[in-house]
Every structure is written in structure tokens, then in C-alpha cells.
Structure 1
Amino acid sequence: MSMFSGKTVMITGGTRGIGLAGAQHILAQGGRVIASGRRNESLSPTDDCVVVLGDVGDPVNVQVLAAAAERAGGLDGLWLNAGFARVGALEAMTAECFDALMATNVRAPALQLARLAPLLKPGASVVVTASSSAFEAAPLVSAYAATKGALLSMVRCWAASLAPRGIRVNAIVPGPIDTGFRGFMGEAAQVQFERAVVEQVPLGRAGSAHEAAAVALFLLSAQASYVTGSQYAVDGGLVMR
């Protein structure tokens, strides 16, 4: 029997990149998915696949997600995956950029879990997508790195808070993953940036969305039933250097 057969999993940022890869795997394994995103690239809405379009940075969006979870009869898994990055010199930081990063990458998952926690079934699993940027000390991503460091701190607190209900909370820490996540930089700048990062990866390459999603799916599944408050690097060895 598939490890997601009969299970309902919500994935924010589930319509593209790592989240989309995870959604596709869960559906293929007999599970039900509620995927949220700004736009839908390739998920076809069905009885087993609900797509919720919207901006997770808008506090109203969490009520839409909660309504979808209630209609599904609760959640067996919740993957807080949505986020975005901006790069720039320290001196170029603006209040608008900082607030936007915090709203989407920190406030949104915190409010989502606060609202959705009562809808998590006993023994459910929560996975949070952080980033190796929290450990890299890269000069151009200080605010983004701060948001992901904040997530890692909250994961441990959330794990302690939900443990009495048998609910596990863990984080994945992706490194350079080939998803087009840095497309906002422009093609030339993106190639240069990613080449510089990949040169530091012991395995010598970027990872795929499916490789990163596989670790999240492990944590969402019953196979990780004794794992909570942990963070799993999916970075080709980048942060061990």
C-alpha cells in the first residue's frame, strides 16, 4: 500500500518547484493534495487535487486555506513551503523589501500553522521549507537568510508545542535546487550566482526538485514517525563545509 493512500496533505507553494514535485508524488501514491500558489503551472484540479490560488503574504489567505482543509475533513500532513527570495547589497536594503520577505517567509507560515493546527489530525506531520542560506553567510541575501533562520528557530518551538498531540514538525534545508527559484535575477545574473554556489557543493551539482521533495515526503510520511524538531539538509553537502 502507498504511504500516502487515503491521506490528505496541504502544500503551500505547491503549484511549482519543490512543492509541485511533492504534490505530484503524493497524488501518484494515492493521496489527496490541497496545493496553494500564486499561479498554477501544471496541477489539474480533481476530486483528489484542490488548487487554491492566492498570495500567502496576505493574512486573509489563511482563512481560505483553512476552509479548504475543513472541507477535506482535516489534514494528515501540512507542508509550509511557500516563499521567495530577493538579493542585493546590504546598503540597498529597503523597508519595503524587508517587510515583504518577512510577511511571506515568516509571518505567513506562522499564521498558517496557528490557524491550521486545530485541523491537523492526531499523528499528523508538518514540514517547513527553510534554506541553506541561513548558514552560508552570503553577502547578498542577508534578509532572506534571516527569514529562513527564523523558520528554523520556530520549527523547534512548534515541535515542542504539538508533540503532546503526536504531531511532528520538521524542516528541510534545501541548497541549490534547480527549480527556477532565482529567475527574478535575470538569466545572466542567475547563471553566475548559481555557478558560484554550485562550485562550493561537494557533490558538484545542483539538486532537482524531486530530490528535495523526496526528503519532505519522508518527513510527511509515517516512515518518519519518531522524527520531530529536526532539520534535514538537502544541499549536496554545502553546509557541512
Structure 2
Amino acid sequence: MGRFESKTVLITGGSSGMGLAGARRIISEGGKVILTGLNEARLRSAQQELGDRAIVISNDAADPDESAKLADQVQAHAPLNGLWLNAAFASLAMPEQVNAASFDAMMATNVRGPVLQLAKLSGMLAPGASVLLTASSSAYEMAAATSLYSATKGAVIALARSWATALASRGIRVNTLVPGPIETNFRSFLPDEAKSGFEAFVVSQVPLGRAGTADEAAAVALFLLSDDASFVTGSQYAVDGGLIMH
């Protein structure tokens, strides 16, 4: 019997990277997954790879109307035993380059998205379910060019702590995954030269001397989503090779 036998987990932003790695593991441990994403090619690829134990849904976390639509689509598969709010995006900008449009776009996806998704999906969470939010070590790194992204992830950490209190009476746990540099397509918005330079700089700060893999991050996520973490709530788990331990 796997840890997710007869359980259903919804993963937003699950068509690639850590979310997809987690979906593979959940299915291998007997569970079913519901994945959301925006990239149609990645969604099709995920569906083909994962087969009939996965339900793949196109969903834009930035659109405030999409949370209600997602809840309608998920209703038939409730109750949910796990909810991993993972959808997000990043861009780099020095403080003087941030404008209202860039602020609104990142806050809409990274903060308002999970807030509205939880609001609509909370009633579908089974007693004893687990909620996991993906934050980032950027919230602690003090990098000059990630102030806006860092702020969104700091907000996610604060949300998780409050939600842990709010949902505790239902036996629902809420925790935060704090990934450091992970080998995914997350920084694909950068030109190749800038991407390699930025990643080399970040990795140079990591005591373990390398970036992590999506599977390594997913392994910690699945611990928090599973009953193995039945007495863990309101916590932050860094998967960062020691980057923020100081």
C-alpha cells in the first residue's frame, strides 16, 4: 500500500517541474492527481505520460474567474486529500523598473491566485487533508533584482501560517515548501546567457555546491502532503542545499 492509495491530490502548476515530478510520485504510490497549467503542449504531454490516473485541466491562476471554474471541474472528484498550490511565475527587475502592470501581474498569479483557489476549494478538502504552498528561498535571499517576486513569496509564507490556524479545527494541515535553485524550466523567461549567469551566481551560494532536482523537491512535498507529516502544520521546509540556513 502506497502513501497515496485511494487519495486524490490537486496540483496547480503541475504540468512541468516540481509539480509534475510530484504527480509521478503520487501515482506511483497509488494515488490520483488533478493537474492544472497554462501551456497546452505541456498539459497534453503530462496527460499522455500519466495516463488515466491523472486529470489535466487548463487553468489560469491569474484570472479571478478561473478559481470558480476550477472548483466546478474538481467537484466531481472531491473530496481532495491534498492540495498543492504551486502555480507561479517569476521575472527579474530592479526596484526602479517595477511598474503597476508588472506588480499586478505577479501578484495576481502568485498571491491572489492561491488565495482565491483555496477559498473555492476549501469546502472540498477531506478531514485530515494537507495543503501545501510553494514559496521560494528568494523570500530570504535579499537579491536586488527579485524584490517583487520575493514579496509574493513572502506573502505565500504568511498566508500558509494563517491558514494553518484557520483550518486546524478540521484537522487540515497547511505547510510551505521553500525551494532554492531547482533544475526546472522556471527561469525560462531569461535569455540563455542571463539564465546561466544568474543560476551560476545562485548555485555559488549553495553549501552543497549544486542545484537541486525537481524530484528532490517533490520528495519533500510528498512528505508534507502525506500522512507521514500528520503532526506537521504551519511549517516551512527548505529544499535549498543549505542556501538560506545562515
TM-score interval, smaller chain: over 0.9
Partner of 1:150: 155
CA separation in 1, counterparts of 2:234 and 2:81? 18
Aligned amino acid, residue 111 of structure 1: L
1:87 is aligned to 2:84: no
Q: CA deviation at 1:191?
A: 0.2
**Unaligned 5+ runs, structure 2:** none
Number of the residue aligned with 1:210: 215
Q: C-alpha separation between the residues in 1 aligned to 2:179 and 2:243?
A: 10
Amino acid at match of 1:17: G
Contact 2:59-2:70 within 8 A present in 1 as well: no
3-state SS of the aligned residue for 2:71?
A: helix
Does the Cα contact within 8 Å between 2:224 and 2:232 map onto a contact in 1?
A: yes
Question: Are positions 1:169 and 2:174 aligned together?
Answer: yes
Amino acid corresponding to residue 9 of structure 2 in structure 1: V
In the alignment, the residues of structure 2 paired with residue 234 and residue 73 of structure 1 have an alpha-carbon distance, to the nearest angstrom, of: 30
SS in 2 for 1:71: helix
How many residues are aligned here? 241
Indicate which of 60, 64, 79 corresponds to 2:65: 60
1:180 matched to 2:185? The reply is: yes
Q: 1:54 Cα deviation (Å)?
A: 2.3
Q: Which residue of 2 aligns with 1:9?
A: 9
TM-score calculated relative to the size of structure 1: 0.98
AA paired with 1:43?
A
Aligned amino acid, residue 24 of structure 2:
Q
- Report the CA distance between 1:20 and its aligned residue: 0.6
* Structure 1 residue 226, shift from structure 2 partner: 0.2
In the other structure, the counterpart of 1:73 is 78
The CA deviation string for residues 64-121 of structure 1, in whole angstroms up to 9 with x for no partner, is: 2212321102200000000000101111111111110000000000110111111000
Amino acid at match of 1:172: L
Aligned partner of residue 68 in structure 1, secondary structure: helix
Could you tell me which amino acid in structure 1 is paired with residue 16 of structure 2?
Answer: R
Q: Is the CA contact (8 Å cut-off) linking 1:18 and 1:213 kept in structure 2?
A: yes
Pair 1:50 & 2:55 matched: yes
- Deviation larger for 181-190 or 58-67: 58-67
CA–CA distance in structure 1, aligned partners of residues 47 and 162 of structure 2: 36
Measure the CA separation in 2 of the matches of 1:150 and 1:73. Answer: 28
Q: How many angstroms apart in 2 are the aligned matches of 1:214 and 1:73?
A: 24
Distance 1:68 1:138 in 2: 39
Q: Is the Cα–Cα contact under 8 Å of residues 34 and 68 in structure 1 kept in the other structure? A: no
Could you give the per-residue CA deviations for residues 108-156 of structure 1, whole angstroms, max 9, x where no partner exists? 0011011111100000000000000000000000000000000101101
Q: Give 2:28's aligned residue.
A: 28
Question: Letter of the aligned partner of 1:28 in structure 2?
Answer: S
TM-score (normalised: structure 2): 0.96
Quick one: which of 218, 221, 240 aligns to 2:226?
221
Name the CA distance, whole Å, in 2 between partners of 1:68 and 1:54.
Answer: 10
Distance 1:69 1:6 in 2: 16
Q: Is the 8 A contact 2:78 2:125 kept in 1?
A: no
Residues 1:234 and 2:239 aligned together? yes
Contact map agreement 1:21 1:209 (CA 8 A) in 2 = yes
2:127 aligned partner:
122
Question: 1:21 corresponds to which letter in structure 2?
Answer: A
Give, in whole Å, the separation in 2 of the partners of 1:29 and 1:130. Answer: 25
Identity of aligned residues (%): 56
Where in structure 1 do 4 or more consecutive aligned residues deviate above 4 Å?
none
Runs (5+) with no aligned partner, structure 1: none
Q: Distance in 1 between matches of 2:149 and 2:135?
A: 10
RMSD, aligned α-carbons: 1.0
Letter in 1 for 2:131: V
